Amino acid sequence: MSDHNNPGGLILLTLRDRHLALGARFAPFAGWEMPLQYTGIVAEHHAVRDGVGVFDVSHLARAWIEGPQAAEQLRSVTTFDVTALAEGQAHYSLYCNEAGGIEDDVFIYHLPGDRWLVIHNASNAESDFERLRSVAGEAASEVTADTVMLAIQGPKAIRLLGDVLGEAIPALNPRDCLEVTWRGESVLFARTGYTGEDGGECIVSAEQAHALWDALVAAGATPVGLGARDTLRLEAALPLHGNDIDPSTHPYEAGLGFAVSLDDGAPFTGREALAELKDQPRPRRLAHLAAQGRGVIRAGYEVRERSAAEAVGHLTSGGHSPSLRRGIGMAYLPAALAKIGTELEVDVRGRALPVEVVRRPFYRKPRD
Amino acid sequence: MAYEAPDHLLYTNDHEWLKRDDDSPDEVTIGITEFAQEQLGDVVYLELPPEGTALTVGEPFGEIESAKTVAELFAPVGGELIGVNAELEERPELVNESPYDEGWIVRVRLADASDLDQLLDADAYQALIPEE
């Protein structure tokens, strides 16, 4: 069933031949032809929760800002005080508009020599890069097409990465980043991810990408597609831009206040609005809902009070949680209904499925 | 490799299969095909009506949820629902693993055996589905 041609001008992955050989089923995503699944979403999901999975996430846009002004330039467009990041550290941040709405969520790496790498969502790649260009001009450069980005995630990921990339990897703390030399070439590594598991993300040149992918798979990493990436991030209650956060939502109601620095006093786009929003009561909050009966709650479904006719919100994301074996999802709800333990219902195509508001994340790693 | 569609079964355009009971020819077992389960991906939940429900040919009678989507089940024949595969409550993945055997979905007592005349044989069904 997989379409072996290039359907509708999608961007094809450098490692497409590897995905094809593994029997991937592809789906278009934000202009890219992406592997949706190889053996099956649920099996791939468990491979990451129990062992280690490798994801081709090359659709994420990658841009450098370089030079002595780079930190200040980045600070002026992102919510987090990146100037406080030491060399070799990475952090989550946001691009907001003047009203404090979230234009994108990003990851920023500080590398030695005044070099900063920013990871953008594929769907916002163009406007995000424009934003960097507007403050950094030619000092901002995009390397998405020249590199491949792989995520290696799961309880066994760091051990495997130590074997493949060297013992510098297990020595890193969470959110540390480092350039390692692998087979004579530089690979950028960060101990980050989007699954709620330990692990990391690698950026490697397109020329060396096949060799690294092969080495990771040979070392025991299970290839995992976009389908399981979504169930994993949902269980970890990590927001997806375009679903759970967008230009009409602000960081505080989305539970992302940790990504906004106001104390340093530095100006950045959206600062005034965010400073006001921070101290205001929040009429609505992003709530985390878990089904109490059997059934799957999905994005767009209506949330209601029990036995009520009126919607109090709609799911921004939802799905079946393979780890918890029940439906989970997120929705912006009036603050009074977003309290942990509140019992609500979701309209599952005409059937009222009872749900409750739960703490995030939905899934927590079992302790050793 | 083509998708499996055993010769002794009857099929619908909606990718369901139907097997006539050897001993009670007015009773049939219904499931979804190998092709259908492959398209759906991992089945995680089935919403099925209780035994005794009257089914009307061509009308939806249940839903099948996979990790990525939901599909309706259509009654391939009219009649009374006389059995639901209780095993699927705990192990919905049987629909993926064994679509023609352990993953059967419901049993129906036919109201009108001529409904069967509208169904496809294995060759006609194979012609409907793409090569893998």
Would you state the pLDDT for residue A6?
Answer: 58
Alpha-carbon distance of A269 to A103, in angstroms, equals: 11
- Residue numbers in B near A349 (CB within 8 A): 63, 70
Per-residue pLDDT at A46: 95
The residue to which tokens 């620095």 are assigned: A261
Contact status of B57 with chain A (Cβ, < 8 Å): no
Q: How far is B132 from chain A (nearest CA, A)?
A: 5
CA distance B70 to chain A (A): 9
What is the distance, to the nearest Å, from the Cα of residue A106 to the centroid of all Cα atoms in its chain? 8
Measured between CB atoms, does B63 come within 8 Å of chain A? yes
**What is the predicted pLDDT for the residue at A40?**
87
The CATH classification number of B10-127 equals 2.40.50.100
CB contact under 8 Å between A1 and B132, yes or no, is: yes
* B4 lies within 8 A of chain A by CB: no
The pLDDT, as a whole number, for residue A293 is 87
pTM of the model: 0.91
H helix intervals, A178-294: 206-218, 226-235, 271-279
pLDDT per residue over A244-282, tens digit each?
A: 999 999 999 999 999 999 999 999 999 999 999 999 999
The list of chain A residues with pLDDT below 50 reads 1-5
Rounded CA separation A44/A74 (Å): 36
Note the ipTM here. Answer: 0.74
What was the pLDDT predicted at A3?
A: 39
Sorted by where each starts, the structural domains of chain A and their CATH numbers stand as: 7-58+145-235 (3.30.1360.120), 61-130 (3.30.70.1400), 282-358 (2.40.30.110)
- DSSP secondary structure, A296-345, as one string: ---TT-EEEETT-SSEEEEEEEEEEETTTTEEEEEEEEEGGG-STT-EEE
Distance, in Å, from the CA atom of B16 to the CA atom of B22, rounded to the nearest integer, reads: 19
A110: left (phi over 0), alpha (psi -120 to 50) or beta: beta
B53 touches chain A (CB under 8 A): no
Q: Please tell me the distance from the alpha carbon of residue B85 to that of residue B27, in angstroms, as a whole number.
A: 15
* pLDDT for residue A2: 35
Closest residue of B to A228, CA-based? B67
Local confidence pLDDT in tens for the 132 residues of chain B:
579 999 999 999 999 999 999 999 899 999 999 999 999 988 988 989 999 999 999 999 999 999 888 899 999 999 999 999 999 988 899 999 999 999 999 999 999 999 999 999 999 999 999 875
Q: Residue A79 corresponds to which tokens in the numbers above?
A: 């919510």
